[in-house]
Chains A and B, each alone.
Chain A
Amino acid sequence: MKDSKIRMLTLLAVVAAVASITLAAATGTQAIKERQEAMEGIGTAMKTLGAIAKQQTPFDADVVKASAETIANHLNTAADLFPEGSDAGDVETWAKAEIWSDHGNFRKDFETAEAAAVAMQSVTEEAAFGPALGALGNACKTCHDTYRRPKQ
């Protein structure tokens, strides 16, 4: 009787441990997937803006505004998708440990990028487009340079 009770408790403990590890991994994996989707959304919108900068497509204030809104929204969501423990999961991530050891500065970089995306929403003239895209691009680069491992 006593023996089986111990066995039962051990089993429960093991199940609980496995479940919590699985849950943590799942939470990490979920966050990684969601933030990568958000970043991909930003990438697609950036390509639209990049095509205008390269003069492959004509400048269109409505397209610029819509793309900038998409980027700002994705940035706003993505900033919260780096919870503790999401440094690894079932999908590959390029997130560096500095995201969590230096989280205040990491959040600030996100705010800078979001502010640049918001500023771009009110660009109506082609002359202001280049500098606005430059500011947004530099915000992306600064954060990626510090907090993202090379994808190689």
Chain B
Amino acid sequence: MKRRSRTRRIAAAAALGAVLVAAVFFVLTAARPSDRVLPTDTRDLANGEVMFHVGGCMACHNPPAGTETPGLPAGAAAFSTPFGTLYPGNLTPDPDTGLGRWTAEEFVDAMTEGVSPDRRHYFPAFPYTSYRNMRVEDLLDLRAYLMSLPPVRSSPRDADVPMIGLSRRAMGLWNRFAFRGRTYEPDPDRDAAWNRGAYLVKGPGHCGECHTPRNAFMIPDDSRPLEGGPHPRGEGHVPSLRDLVGRGRYADVADLTLALQFGETLGYDQLSSGGMAKVQMNLAQLPEDDLRAISEYLLSLR
């Protein structure tokens, strides 16, 4: 009799504990809507296009091979990661399968909080962890540019990841750690070009997503920025971007600018592996001043 009530008490405590853990998990992983107020003035489409290219949107949001609209970010081509296969979304203004019905607030939340309009977490293969460093003006210009593209109807597909509901939810907890101390601040001691380069590298360019090593929780280690490490997609090694001159990789700012502009075409064939060719081909669309700014910033890293 006594024993039975003891077992019952333990069972009740365990059940209560489980409910508590679930409740804490539920609260910690919730997708929180932001209450930001956005500027509503006219947007700069040319700047939006620059953001589109430096952001490398097309590298992942490309349509599957053989579609009729190969140059548009209609998404849905399989993107494999060590955790499962993702099918990036449609960034064209199609109302049903694309961004057509998204509000500006929803777009900015997606880019900076990693949260979809239906308040689910994205997986951080979508680099919102870097995009959250972007100026809100640049985000709105990017949205205006995307909305100016021809709408393409796509066949959206949810990610093929084990325990998808729980996995998505868990990203809320991961974000709480990954978002710490990663907001970009300009350095007043440096000139405008250096700061522009730093912004493009840390914000829209999201270079650190591959070039900064990650810790055991897959969070980029900010104490070792751009030092290189294992390839996040599982194969090979991503080179360090520090001390590029000292290590004999590039002669000077002009050399690196040329490399970013032309890549392998001019013999910089180290830029055509591990996905970097796609990055370089997107960067090639940038104004030369921006490429020089990126080079100036990168070559200042020792």
Contact = CB atoms under 8 A, between A and B. Distances in A.
Interface string A74-114: 00000000000000000000000000000001000000000
B273 A149 contact: yes
B264 A54 contact: no
Given A105-B65, A150-B237, A141 B267 contact: no
A142 B264 CA distance: 10
A140 B281 CA distance: 12
Interface string B267-302: 101111111111011000000000000000000000
Contacts of A133: 265
Given A54-B258, A105-B65, A150-B236, A136 B265 contact: yes
A50 B262 CA distance: 10
B263 interface: yes
Interface string A116-152: 0000000000000000011011101110110011111
Interface string A52-78: 011000000000000000000000000
Nearest to A96: B235
Nearest to B235: A149
Contact of B281 (A50, A54, A138): A138
A145 B265 contact: no
Contacts of B236: 149-150, 152
A53 B267 CA distance: 12
A140 B264 contact: yes
Nearest to A51: B266
A47 interface: yes
Which of A105, A138, A144, A150: most chain B Cβ within 10 A?
A150
A50 B269 CA distance: 13
A137 B272 CA distance: 10
Contacts of B269: 43, 144
B100 interface: no
Contacts of B263: 137, 141
B89 to A, nearest CB: 23
A138 B266 CA distance: 11
A46 interface: yes
A152 B237 contact: yes
A138 B264 CA distance: 8
B273 A148 contact: yes
Nearest to A138: B281
A110 to B, nearest CB: 15
Contact of B264 (A137, A149, A151): A137
9 contacts: A50-B262, A53-B266, A133-B265, A137-B263, A140-B265, A148-B273, A150-B237, A150-B270, A151-B273
Interface of A: 43, 46-47, 50, 53-54, 105, 133-134, 136-138, 140-142, 144-145, 148-152
